[in-house]
Structure 1
Amino acid sequence: MDIRRVVTGHDAAGKSVFVSDDAVRPARPTLMPGSQFHQLWGGDTAPQFPDDGSMPQWHSYFPPVGGFRFAMLTLPPSAGTGASEAPDIEKGLAEIEELLPGMLGYMDPSDPGMHTTDTIDFEVVLEGTVVLELDDGAEVTLRAGDTVVQNGTRHRWKNPGDVPARMAVFICGASHANVTR
């Protein structure tokens, strides 16, 4: 999917201006075939205005308390997403860390895909079907137009369909007594 990001800001006189209009290329980790992560915007602190419209500094996939992330995700169908040849796991994990810094630290290695973050996530399903599974096996099926407010719960995402599912996500860092960085 081609994603366009238009950014506004302020000029030296405080007037509203367009500062960029660019295509955003997705991260496509080898160990996650068919997945796409469009990291659109983020910051590790609360924004202050007026600003010049430049991307704030941020360092990890999930934000710290007071930070935020805006992204689009593409989840491939759960069936038939295996790689055609055996991947180099060590190289693939290093690639994920480079493309999506810190994400793997939140994953439960004993239960693939299951993770808990110290964030509040606002998700909108744009296309396809996704299943949100919680740690006790409870599931809800979501379709285009459905939304989720994810309050730091242990969960995983699955795509039971036969086409990619796309979601828009806004993530806010939050204090979570059960998650440590």
Structure 2
Amino acid sequence: MTSRRRIVTGHDHDGRSTVAGDSVVEPRTSPGLPGVEMRYLWGADEPQSYPDGGTEPAWRRHFPPLGGFRFVSFTLPPAGTGEPVSEQASAHAREAFPGLLETYREDEPGMHRSDTTDLAIVLSGEVVLGLDDGSEHVLRAGDTVVQNGTAHSWTNRNTEPAEMLFVLVGARREG
């Protein structure tokens, strides 16, 4: 597991820029998603107002609501990592990553859709973006994706973990 350093800026009582926090963000893991590491680096459930003191806003679920956002680092293990998921492990994953598993389709493992615009970059490794039209797109370090609320999956067909960085922005689904 790899932790990530996070520096957060804020404003002092005179409105000047200051470092409000310098900490390490440890990954969340779960036996319900073997090998997955999720680092919730920052998030909010509503638009922010400034100046502020630099404290992290409250947020509750993996995917942000309309007006909210998440900044997340995601490590995807090689396909076939771990054992089949038990009900207890699945329940743990639902607690560790609230709202994530509820977006998954039962008929297509890994395929999910959320009411978000996801801005992603592959930091290391190689991943396959699968879409529900059956197409697959290989992405390597440095490649980016703008995922506009479509059904999709992520697969790592290599032997080493892949890491991606996401900004998820709450969106509205109509129809």
Normalising by structure 2, report the TM-score: 0.96
Partner of 2:82: 82
Given the alignment, which residue of 135, 144, 147 partners 2:144? 147
User: Could you tell me which residue of structure 2 aligns to residue 111 of structure 1?
Assistant: 108
Alignment length, in residue pairs? 174
Separation of aligned partners in 2, 1:17 and 1:107: 41
Corresponding residue number in structure 2 for 1:36? 37
Q: Does 1:97 align with 2:83?
A: no
Aligned to 1:160: 157
Report whether the alignment pairs 1:22 with 2:23. Answer: yes
Quote the offset at 1:2 in angstroms: 2.3
Asked if 1 retains the 8 angstrom alpha-carbon contact of 2:32 and 2:91, the reply is no
* Offset from partner CA, 1:122-168 (integer Å, 9 cap, x none): 00000000000000210110000000000000000000111000001
Partner of 1:68: 69
Which structure 2 residue ranges, 5 or more long, are not aligned? none
Partner Cα distance (1:99, 1:52) in 2:
28
Q: Is 1:47 aligned with 2:48?
A: yes
SS at 2:159 equivalent: coil
Q: Verify: 1:120 aligned to 2:121, yes or no.
A: no
Q: Gapped runs of 5+ residues in structure 1?
A: none
The 4+ residue runs of structure 1 with deviation greater than 4 A are none
Deviates more, 1:118-127 or 1:103-112: 103-112
* Cα separation, 1, equivalents of 2:67 and 2:22: 27
**Amino acid across the alignment from 1:21:** D
Q: Which amino acid aligns with 1:35?
A: V
Shift of 1:82: 2.2
Q: CA RMSD in A?
A: 1.2
CA contact (8 A) 2:35 2:82 kept: no
Question: Once the two structures are superposed, what CA deviation does each residue of 1:24-72 show, in whole Å capped at 9, x if it has no partner?
Answer: 1111110211110001110000111111100111111000000000010
Q: Helix, strand or coil for the counterpart of 1:54?
A: coil
Q: Which amino acid aligns with 1:4?
A: R
Aligned to 2:134: 137
Q: TM-score, normalised by structure 1?
A: 0.92
